[in-house]
């Protein structure tokens, strides 16, 4: 049985079809793909299998056709960039497919603009929540979005404007490679008021400032509080996120979310990663959820329950924060350590020296080299025509890296 040829046909009606793709198409008995991809081959004499209706049903027919001839599946752009190839991988083994790369529409856009694309964030909003756009905007680099009929350029721009993003350069590209190709150079705010919407669109946003509320850590008074539920102070939250840097793309486990102070700061920095926030108190969990929603922290998944039992179903992570332990310091840290992947870092916060000592000894017994940072922050308050310092409760931060000694050598966890 022949392998399925998964062929990138580039954007447009064939102008960017590579020689290897032409060869794969010419050698196929059956061509499969979307109607616009099959249109040029209506008179080819080949059997055509159109991708319409249920995707699973289409893949079933594709598998059946493999028994009758050589199949080539035609996909837009490059199959290795946000395409049906991922879904195909759940049905067919890699050795059952021959992937023929193609020119992606985003490559054509950057060529049209005469600029390099290396360093640009790339993401797809095709069939995805509009909120996903928040994960990819950066101050220091551009972001390219693949769009669909719902998440259009004007819709994305209006959404970001409403979320407080300052204006930044924007390029909207539609129908690249087709006669009706359009490239609109504008700004985020200008695009938000654009009425005309085309098909097959890309949106390139340039570097730009983030909303003011995205800078630093949120002030203590911003957070919704529940009676009797603690909130870590701004200085503590800033140091915790700094000691866990980098957070973007990481899987983070937080035990004892409280009001969600640290949860929110982790969620704001994790980007495409995930934060698993465990909390036993229903009141605290409600406050933490509310704060995460207000901050737009999409990567946060809340888990109600008592540690260590509540950790059983959670995946292993690269960062762990222990903010609450219910008195069972050693048991919670040991369970959290088991969830920490090699090379990851565990950090425990403590208000009492005795608790910090127990955390340090627990981490030491697990074969790590724990360190302790004691912070006693003070912040300014106006006093007459000047200012004075107001002290906050001191906090101990106890942290250790798994399988990494200070000299950089690895050691085994027994």
Residue with more model confidence, 335 or 297:
335
**pLDDT at residue 286 greater than cutoff 90:** yes
Give the model's confidence band at 410: pLDDT under 50 very low, under 70 low, under 90 confident, else very high: very low
Q: Give me the DSSP letters along 84-100.
A: THHHHTTTS-GGGEEEE
What are φ and ψ of residue 190, in 5° steps?
-65, -40
Determine what percent of the chain is predicted with pLDDT higher than 90.
Answer: 75
**pLDDT at residue 408 greater than cutoff 70:** no
**pLDDT at residue 1 greater than cutoff 70:** yes
Reported as type and span, the H/E element at residue 384 is none
Which class for 344: exposed (0-12), middle (13-18), buried (19 or more C-beta within 10 A)? buried
Q: What is the pLDDT of residue 198?
A: 76
Give the model's confidence band at 400: pLDDT under 50 very low, under 70 low, under 90 confident, else very high: very high
- Per-residue pLDDT tens digits for 183-204: 999 999 999 988 777 778 999 9
Residue corresponding to tokens 């769009």: 147
Q: What is the pLDDT of residue 411?
A: 44
**pLDDT at residue 405 greater than cutoff 70:** no
Give the model's confidence band at 214: pLDDT under 50 very low, under 70 low, under 90 confident, else very high: low
- Category of 200 on φ-ψ map: left (φ > 0), alpha (ψ -120 to 50) or beta: left
- Per-residue pLDDT tens digits for 118-154: 999 999 999 898 888 888 888 889 999 999 999 999 9
pTM above 0.85, yes or no: no
Q: What is the pLDDT of residue 357?
A: 97
Residues 6 or more apart from 8 whose CB is under 8 A from it? 18, 21, 75, 76, 77, 78, 79, 80, 83, 100, 101, 102, 103, 104
């Amino acid at each position: 049985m022949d392998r399925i040829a998964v062929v990138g046909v580039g954007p447009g009606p064939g102008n960017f079809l590579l020689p290897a793709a032409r060869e794969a198409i010419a050698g196929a008995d059956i061509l499969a793909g979307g109607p616009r991809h099959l249109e040029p081959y209506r008179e080819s004499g080949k059997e055509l299998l159109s991708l319409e209706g249920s995707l699973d049903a289409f893949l079933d027919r594709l598998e059946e056709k493999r028994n009758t001839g050589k199949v080539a599946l035609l996909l837009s752009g490059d199959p290795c960039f946000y395409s049906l190839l991922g879904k195909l991988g759940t049905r067919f083994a890699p050795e059952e497919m021959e992937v023929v790369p193609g020119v992606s529409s985003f490559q054509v856009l950057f060529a049209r603009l005469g600029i390099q694309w290396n360093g640009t964030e790339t993401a797809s909003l095709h069939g995805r929540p509009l909120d996903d756009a928040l994960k990819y905007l950066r101050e220091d680099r551009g972001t390219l979005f693949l769009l669909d009929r719902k998440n259009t350029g004007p819709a994305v721009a209006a959404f970001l404007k409403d979320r407080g993003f300052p204006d930044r350069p924007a390029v909207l590209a539609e129908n690249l490679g087709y006669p009706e190709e359009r490239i609109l150079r504008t700004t985020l705010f200008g695009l938000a008021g654009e009425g005309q919407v085309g098909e097959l669109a890309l949106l390139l946003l340039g570097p730009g400032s983030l909303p003011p509320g995205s800078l630093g850590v949120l002030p203590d008074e911003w957070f919704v509080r529940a009676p009797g539920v603690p909130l870590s102070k701004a200085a503590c939250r800033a140091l915790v996120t700094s000691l866990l840097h980098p957070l973007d793309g990481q899987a983070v486990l937080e035990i004892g979310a409280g009001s969600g102070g640290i949860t929110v700061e982790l969620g704001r920095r994790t980007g495409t990663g995930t934060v698993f926030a465990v909390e036993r108190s229903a009141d605290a969990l409600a406050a933490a959820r509310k704060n995460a929603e207000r901050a737009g922290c999409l990567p946060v998944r809340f888990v109600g329950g008592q540690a260590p039992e509540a950790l059983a179903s959670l995946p292993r992570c690269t960062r762990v924060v222990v903010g609450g332990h219910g008195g069972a310091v050693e048991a919670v840290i040991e369970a959290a350590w088991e969830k920490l992947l090699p090379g990851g870092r565990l950090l425990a916060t403590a208000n009492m020296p005795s608790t910090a000592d127990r955390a340090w000894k627990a981490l030491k017994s697990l074969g790590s080299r724990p360190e302790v940072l004691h912070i006693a922050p003070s912040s300014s308050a106006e006093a007459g025509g000047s200012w004075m310092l107001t002290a906050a409760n001191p906090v101990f931060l106890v942290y250790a890296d798994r399988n990494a000694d200070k000299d950089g050598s690895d050691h085994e966890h027994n």
